[in-house]
Chains A and B, each alone.
Chain A
Amino acid sequence: MSKSLNHLLQDARIWQGHKPQKHASPAEHTGYQVLDNQLGGLGWPKGALSECLLDSCGIGELHLVLPLMQKVARQGKTIFWLNPPHTPYAPALARAGVNTDQLVLVQTHDSADFLWTLENCLRSPVTGLVMAWPGKLATRDIRRLQLASEAGNNVCILFRERRQAEQHSPAALRLELIPGEHQDLKIIILKRRGSWPGQRCTLALGHRAGIQASDPTGVIQGPWSQDGAT
């Protein structure tokens, strides 16, 4: 029995889950050491889809991508924003060191146009990063996008709703983003190609609003704090 087991274990075709293989697949560092460690020291996979699942914006999801945006813009490659829910605020991006000339905002009207645009952006050599807010997507469509992103060598991040976490997805990396108590961002890795999922980590992103961790009250109190919504 054990002999035949040993024999089997020596077979290269048997995948052994307890020692995750160092993937040779190319990736871009996320810029956050904590998250990189959880992702096997790699980061955002290149030539594959990544999904971020979140309930609402304003929890630090753009700051999660910001180090990559800075890097891509420095390389002179284009960052596409496909159907963003709000306007990316150019002064803030410029302040964060992202060259706004490298940003292109694309608005599409229907899902056929959306998929077509995303596919074209992914296949182009000028693209460095595509961020897309697809709304509803069928599994078949994600599969198609996955194939398109394999054709190019770009990072593609889809921002989707958290309730779609149960839906099966061929994306190579799926992250669930939950806002924490202290302006931090909890990340749960739902899926990761070539390794076990389920790792969690927390990124402190209080600096995105200029908040010091030690100084929670920078608000000047006044007589106005008694009325209105406060």
Chain B
Amino acid sequence: MLWLYLHFPHLLLDHVRRSQQTQGALAVVDLAGQAILQVCPEADHLGIRPGMRLKTALGLAPDLVILHLDSQQETNLLEEQARWLYRYAAHITLSPPHGLWAEVSSLQRLYGGLPAVWQTVEQALAERQLTAWLALGHTPLAAQLLAQAGKGECTADKGHILTALGKLPLVAAGFDEKSCTRLHRLGLNTLAEVFNLPARELARRLSPELLARIQKAQGTRPDPKSPWHPPHRFRQRADFIQEVEHAQGLLFALQRILTELEEDLCWRQQDTDTLHLLLQHRHEEATRLTLRTTGPEHRAESFLKLLRLKLDQHPLRAPVISLSLSVKRFLGREAPVGQDLLGDGQDLNEAWHTLASRLQARLGTEALQQLAPRADHRPEFAWTASAIKPASRHSETPEVSGLPARPLWLLSTPHPLAEPPARWFSGPERISAGWWDGQRVHRDYYIAQLSSGQLAWVFRDIRDGWYIHGWFG
């Protein structure tokens, strides 16, 4: 077995920097706000080091932007990285908070050699603007130790790995502090010197745990890692160092996330029709926006267009400090039907989805309606309006016949008849129904022409009131 370890020295910083382009120095401090934990290259250039006190760091760089460590967020971020790595490697194990293992011996044939695997991963990292230190090891622990020390090399040679491992100082081996001090007092400084000690003595004099760790690094003791499986949902988050006040500022981050979503969907061969966008504000409750497309969609470009419309309709209530986009609903891809081979004819189904999604994004879902007749004798109940649903677009028209003439316009509520009609044409047509559901209708309908020339559908109800209920348009 051969393991590749990816160590992200400042994942949180990378994550923040790719959502917003800033030049200044960045640092992550611990929860108490006392010590620096991670620094970006700019901050490092200014002389800020991890472990330094915050006051000292601010003395060195007054403009330093400070991020507070959020362990939950770090775990989520690491999972995000595992998601894309899962496309390249099947067996992945998380090592919170900063690293990932991928089993690569099984991938060599697929990629055509170890250097190709290494390159693929490096390229993927560069595409995502992430900093990671890679290392290969014949055991998970060896890979991890080498990566954390930044001494990783692209080699599968066990002897070479052990030599590199042996050169590591004891501090880098991750022993507990007490054992580390004792080993130092024994005059041991590198791992190779510890490797040479007899195992039994080591366990007796120091601790069995230390021996276990050494044996795991060397590969003489099994160190099983359970594989991680990506959850069946998509969730990405962008945090902003400077609060975003205009929707335009969100689009940059959204574009990157949507591109990732498109890749993810392409890779799954799936589509989605619902996107959830959560905008966090500093002092106010978070804004939740739901974007629905009328049909399955996977292209980042069309999602972005719709989101732009949605954001135009819902101006930001307060400056945004972070946004997260999640997708929980996935739909299987359907092969396009009715498209000719050369692609000359336009795909009307797709055009319909595009148009309906656009209109709904701007006007709201309920602004678009479809009408259908319904079997009821009462005119106001003889039709229904429903939100548009693309599936039913090509159904057959139900046969409506045998009824007397009906007007093309129906008033939403009957309008009192103000003047006697000029001419009467037909009637009465008695409609008496609805005793079963409390919406009783008991009317005599006539067709009459008003003096203005309009042809009206008028009725007289049981209380002798005259109303106009429709126009023969």
How near does chain A come to B366, taking the closest CB pair, in angstroms?
8
The reply to whether B473 and A219 form a contact with Cβ atoms under 8 Å apart is no
For window 389-421 of chain B, which residues contact chain A by CB distance below 8 Å? 392-395, 397-398, 400-401, 403-412, 417, 419-421
- B370 contacts A by Cβ under 8 Å: yes
Q: How far is the CA of A157 from the CA of B409 in the complex (A)?
A: 17
Residue from the set B367, B408, B472 with the largest chain A CB neighbour count within 10 Å: B408
Within 8 Å CB of A59, what residues of B? 453-455, 473
- A90 contacts B by Cβ under 8 Å: yes
Contact string, A112-141, partner B, CB cutoff 8 A, digits 1/0? 010011001100111100000000000000
Within 8 Å CB of A108, what residues of B? 363, 367
The reply to whether A95 and B425 form a contact with Cβ atoms under 8 Å apart is no
Residue from the set A91, A125, A219 with the largest chain B CB neighbour count within 10 Å: A91
Q: How far is the CA of A97 from the CA of B412 in the complex (A)?
A: 23
- B348 contacts A by Cβ under 8 Å: yes
Q: How far is the CA of A17 from the CA of B433 in the complex (A)?
A: 62
Size of the chain A interface, CB-CB below 8 angstroms: 65
Within 8 Å CB of A127, what residues of B? 355
Residue of A nearest to B354 (CB): A124
The reply to whether A228 and B407 form a contact with Cβ atoms under 8 Å apart is no
How near does chain A come to B363, taking the closest CB pair, in angstroms?
6
- B197 contacts A by Cβ under 8 Å: no
Residue of A nearest to B425 (CB): A211
How near does chain B come to A186, taking the closest CB pair, in angstroms?
10
Within 8 Å CB of A61, what residues of B? 473
- B272 contacts A by Cβ under 8 Å: no
The reply to whether A89 and B368 form a contact with Cβ atoms under 8 Å apart is no
Stretch at the interface among A20-28, A98-106, A190-198: A98-106
Residue of B nearest to A218 (CB): B426
The reply to whether A229 and B403 form a contact with Cβ atoms under 8 Å apart is no
Q: How far is the CA of A178 from the CA of B382 in the complex (A)?
A: 31
- A220 contacts B by Cβ under 8 Å: yes
For window 3-57 of chain A, which residues contact chain B by CB distance below 8 Å? 55-57
Q: How far is the CA of A207 from the CA of B189 in the complex (A)?
A: 105
The reply to whether B392 and A101 form a contact with Cβ atoms under 8 Å apart is yes
Within 8 Å CB of A180, what residues of B? 453
Q: How far is the CA of A208 from the CA of B447 in the complex (A)?
A: 11
Q: A210-B426, A224-B460 are in contact. Are A124 and B351 (CB under 8 A)?
A: yes
How near does chain B come to A58, taking the closest CB pair, in angstroms?
3
Q: How far is the CA of A49 from the CA of B411 in the complex (A)?
A: 27
The reply to whether B447 and A105 form a contact with Cβ atoms under 8 Å apart is no
Residue from the set A58, A120, A216 with the largest chain B CB neighbour count within 10 Å: A58
The reply to whether A89 and B406 form a contact with Cβ atoms under 8 Å apart is yes
Q: How far is the CA of A129 from the CA of B427 in the complex (A)?
A: 34
The reply to whether A120 and B359 form a contact with Cβ atoms under 8 Å apart is yes
- B466 contacts A by Cβ under 8 Å: yes
The reply to whether B426 and A211 form a contact with Cβ atoms under 8 Å apart is yes
Query: Contact residues of A with B, CB < 8 Å?
Result: 55-63, 66, 76, 78, 84-108, 113, 116-117, 120-121, 124-127, 178-180, 183, 208-211, 216-220, 222, 224, 227-230
Q: List 15 A-B contacts (CB under 8 A).
A: A60-B455, A63-B408, A87-B409, A97-B397, A101-B392, A101-B397, A103-B371, A106-B359, A106-B367, A107-B369, A116-B362, A117-B359, A209-B425, A209-B447, A230-B424
Closest 8 CB pairs of A and B: A179-B453, A58-B471, A58-B454, A62-B473, A210-B405, A90-B383, A218-B426, A92-B406
Known: A93-B408, A95-B406, A219-B428; 20 extra A-B contacts, CB below 8 A, are A57-B473, A60-B455, A86-B471, A87-B383, A87-B385, A89-B379, A92-B408, A95-B400, A95-B403, A103-B371, A104-B370, A105-B385, A108-B367, A113-B363, A117-B362, A121-B355, A178-B453, A210-B404, A228-B464, A229-B466
Query: Contact residues of B with A, CB < 8 Å?
Result: 346, 348, 351-352, 354-355, 358-359, 362-363, 367-374, 379, 382-385, 388, 392-395, 397-398, 400-401, 403-412, 417, 419-421, 423-428, 444, 446-447, 449-450, 452-456, 460, 464, 466, 470-473
